[in-house]
Amino acid sequence: MTNVISIFYFNQQIKAVTEPLPGSIAYATQYKLPVKKKYEGLNIIDFFLELVPRSNREIWITKIKNQTLFINGKPATENTIVKGGDITQHTSEPKVEPWVNTKIELLFSDEDIIIINKPAPLPMHPSGRFNKNSLTEILKLAFPEEDLKIIHRLDANTTGIVILARNKKIVKSIGEQFESKSTQKTYLAMVEGIATEDYFNTNTKIGIQKTAGGGRESNDDGIDAYTEFKVLERFPSNNTTLLEVKPHTGRTNQIRLHLASLNHPIVGDHGYKDINYFKKNPLTYTSDCLFLHAWKLKFYHNNKSFAIEAPIPEKFLN
C-alpha cells in the first residue's frame, strides 16, 4: 500500500479484521517477564503481586502447583527468590478480551503519514486485559504490508486525532515536534460543575511515579505542567461546562488531573474523581467513556504548517 489511502479501502480493511473482534475468541497468553534489579530478593509470589497489583496470592500459588509458572526455564516453587536478570514465564487461563469500539475513522493520508480519529473505548497498545483488541494490533491485522508507528498517545477512553507514521523518517521528524512541545494541541472536554471564569489556567505539577492503580497525582516535587482553558458553553440544567483545552506540556493524564485539581473533573472520568478508583478498577474501560476529545492539531509536515481537525463526537452535541 503506497501514497493516499481511500476511505473505502481503509474502512473495508478495518471491518474485515474486527467483525468479529480479534479478541472475542478465548485464547491463552504466554507472558515472559524479566526481573528488574529493584525486585531482587523478593519471593516470586510477592514479585508478581508487585507487578500485577490486581491479582492475588492464590492465583500464583495455583500456577506454581500446576507447574505453569517458570523462572529461567524451570518450574518455580513457593520458596523461589528472584534475582535481577531472572526471566519469569507464565501462561494465562484462556480468556475473551473486553469489547472495544473499532469505528476508526480515516482523516488524512499521504506517503508518509496516516491520521485517524480514534474511537473509545480503544486502548492504543496491548496492556492488561487488552491485547488483540488494541489499536496497534488491529492496524497490524488490517494493513500487514505497512509498518505503522504511533507517534503520540491518547488514553483508551479518549477520542480524537492520532498520527501514524509510515516510515522511520517521519517518526523522527514529527516525534521531535511532540517532544519539543512545538505542536499545538486543542481538546474538547465536558466537565462537571459550572466554570465561573471564561478563561482560566493551571500549572499544577504532576508526579512522576504512578499511583498504585496506574494513575498520576499532583505533586509539588513533580514535573512542570501548564494547561489553558476557555469556556465554550455552560449547561446549568445538568451542571456541566464545555471547555476548549490547550495543554502546553504533554504530561501523562495532564488534562484529566488538572481539571480534577480545579474541582471540574471530566464527565465520565471516575479515575480522577475518586482517588481510590484506580486501586479498585485498574485498567477498566467501559462504554461510559471520557468526555475528552483530541479535537485539533497543528504541526509541521513536509516543511509546511499542517492543521487537522477531528469531527466532534455526537455525545458532545446531545
The residues carrying an active-site annotation are 155
- Distance CA(88)–CA(101), nearest Å, equals 33
Task: Give CA separation, 274 vs 85, 251, 257, in Å.
Answer: 37, 20, 12
* Region of residue 272 (phi > 0: left; psi between -120 and 50: alpha; otherwise: beta): alpha
In three-state secondary structure terms, 103 is: coil
Handedness of CA 62, 64, 67, 69 (dihedral sign): positive
> Do 213 and 53 meet the contact criterion of CB atoms below 8 Å apart?
yes
What the block records as the C-alpha cell of 212 is 498504585
- Distance CA(163)–CA(178), nearest Å, equals 11
